[in-house]
């Protein structure tokens, strides 16, 4: 926990139990705490953290704690920096991660700039991750609760932001967080966790959301030798590794998507193969960024999804060379590198092998 102080802290309160407890812990440590909730998505939401009820929960927790609470409307920014690119990536046959882009552009850029304008040097969130001081500067590290660790989706946070960031629940288990919320009689103590993409509803789904914004294109399904096997109605809904929903009949072995070609100007093509065809020795990367010192040709561990298991490898020639064959990663997904201490040391986005 931060040392006792009257240093003001702007706490991002999503309406969930983690950010509620983060605010309570900082208040208990002597900080002057102000809560803020970002209103990002103006459309319907029944998942994620953008529902109207979430704003109300954050406000009522702030009232319970006796702290100020404000709502900032960043809807236009969210549409431009998160929703628009999400739709564009799907149209290009990629599989985006909008939560990472929300952290990159909204929570740890747009909101940080608002904190600067209001005179707050310190900010805080309820994410399950830690900030570790190292000789090379502050580093983002995995949270203590491995099942809830969120360092993967936070890997884009700049070092300048880490220097001023509190993550009060990162050294706690989820059970401990809920126990504190219960002891404090916070209304979020038993609230279910946010799931999935906040702007995609369970009722209508991804197909409806994308179909309202772009024309969905059919794609030819073929095997690795180019033999046509069928078709899918929406290439924008297909991702690397997918097995179900391809409408392929017959055959004793399951078939998986091994490539998606949605280049404009020609009919999209989905290539399928056996599970073994998904194994690769190298994953090309774009927009790779080291945190601190470059660690090329160094043994590291890499995580390729929010809750994926780390796999050993090293960065060579703009890609990850895996220590053992690794499942192919969908284009557009982030690949995050960790050192032996669980600190984030780099990150990038899965790309396609050059033709």
Using CA atoms, how far apart are residues 77 and 82, in angstroms rounded to an integer? Answer: 8
Region 210-228: what's the mean pLDDT? 95
Encoding tokens for residue 182?
């219960």
Question: In this structure, are 134 and 22 located in the same domain?
Answer: yes
51: confidence class by pLDDT, cuts 50, 70, 90: low
Tell whether 34 and 163 lie within a shared domain.
yes
- Evaluate whether residue 1 is within a structural domain: no
Residues 163 and 256 both lie in one domain = no
Residues 35 and 166 occupy one common structural domain: yes
331 part of a folded domain: yes
> Which tokens belong to 334?
């982030």
Q: Calculate the average pLDDT of the chain.
A: 92
pLDDT of 250 higher than 80: no
Residues 30 and 99 reside in one and the same domain: yes
On the question of pLDDT at 355 being above 50, the answer is no
Same domain assignment for residues 255 and 282: no
Which domain CATH number covers 179?
3.40.50.620
Section 67-94 average pLDDT? 96
DSSP letter assigned to residue 92? T
In a domain, 204, yes or no: no
For position 247, what pLDDT does the model report? Answer: 82
Same domain, 304 and 253: no
pLDDT at 23 over 80: yes
Q: Which of 134, 161, 183 is the last residue of a domain?
A: 183
Question: Is 197 within a domain?
Answer: no
Asked if residue 66 and residue 162 are part of one domain, the reply reads yes
Whether 269 and 300 share a structural domain: no
Query: Whole-model pTM?
Result: 0.92
Among 172, 138, 131, 168, residue whose Cα is nearest residue 31: 168
pLDDT digits (tens, 9 = 90+) for 156-197: 999 999 999 999 999 999 999 999 999 999 999 999 887 678
139 and 265, same structural domain? no
Q: Is 354 exposed, middle or buried (0-12, 13-18, 19+ CB in 10 A)?
A: exposed
Number of domains in the chain: 3
Query: Is the same domain home to 266 and 301?
Result: no
Residues designated catalytic: 102, 198
Domain residues for the domain of 102 are 8-183
Residue 266 lies in a domain: yes
Together in a domain, 122 and 224:
no
Residue 45 has pLDDT above 70, yes or no: no
Supply the DSSP symbol for 337: E
């Amino acid at each position: 926990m931060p040392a006792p102080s009257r240093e003001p802290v702007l706490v991002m309160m999503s309406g969930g139990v983690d950010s509620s407890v983060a605010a309570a812990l900082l208040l208990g440590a002597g900080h002057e705490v102000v809560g803020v909730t970002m209103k990002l998505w103006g459309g319907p939401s029944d998942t994620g953290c953008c529902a109207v009820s979430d704003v109300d929960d954050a406000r009522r927790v702030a009232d319970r704690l006796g702290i100020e609470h404000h709502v900032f409307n960043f809807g236009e920014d969210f549409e431009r920096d998160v929703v628009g690119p999400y739709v564009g990536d799907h149209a290009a046959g990629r599989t985006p991660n909008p939560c990472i882009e929300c952290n990159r552009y909204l929570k740890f850029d747009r909101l940080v700039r608002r904190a600067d304008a209001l005179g707050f040097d310190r900010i805080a969130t309820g994410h399950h991750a830690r900030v570790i001081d190292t000789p090379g500067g502050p580093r983002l590290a995995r949270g203590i609760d491995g099942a809830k660790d969120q360092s993967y989706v936070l890997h884009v946070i700049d070092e300048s932001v880490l220097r001023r960031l509190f993550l009060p629940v990162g050294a706690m288990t989820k059970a401990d967080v809920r126990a504190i919320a219960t002891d404090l009689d916070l209304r979020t103590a038993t609230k279910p966790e946010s799931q999935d993409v906040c702007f995609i509803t369970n009722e209508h789904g991804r197909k409806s959301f994308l179909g309202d914004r772009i024309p969905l294109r059919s794609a030819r399904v073929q095997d690795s030798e180019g033999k046509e096997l069928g078709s899918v109605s929406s290439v924008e809904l297909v991702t690397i590794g997918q097995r179900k929903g391809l409408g392929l009949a017959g055959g004793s072995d399951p078939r998986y998507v091994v490539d998606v070609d949605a280049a404009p100007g020609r009919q999209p093509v989905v290539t399928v193969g056996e599970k073994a065809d998904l194994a690769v020795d190298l994953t090309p990367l774009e927009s790779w960024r080291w945190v601190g010192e470059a660690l090329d040709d160094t043994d590291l561990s890499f995580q390729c999804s929010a809750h994926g298991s780390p796999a050993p490898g090293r960065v060579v020639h703009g890609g990850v060379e895996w220590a053992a064959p690794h499942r192919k990663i969908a284009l557009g997904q982030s690949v995050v590198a960790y050192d032996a201490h669980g600190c984030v040391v780099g990150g990038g986005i899965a790309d396609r092998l050059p033709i």
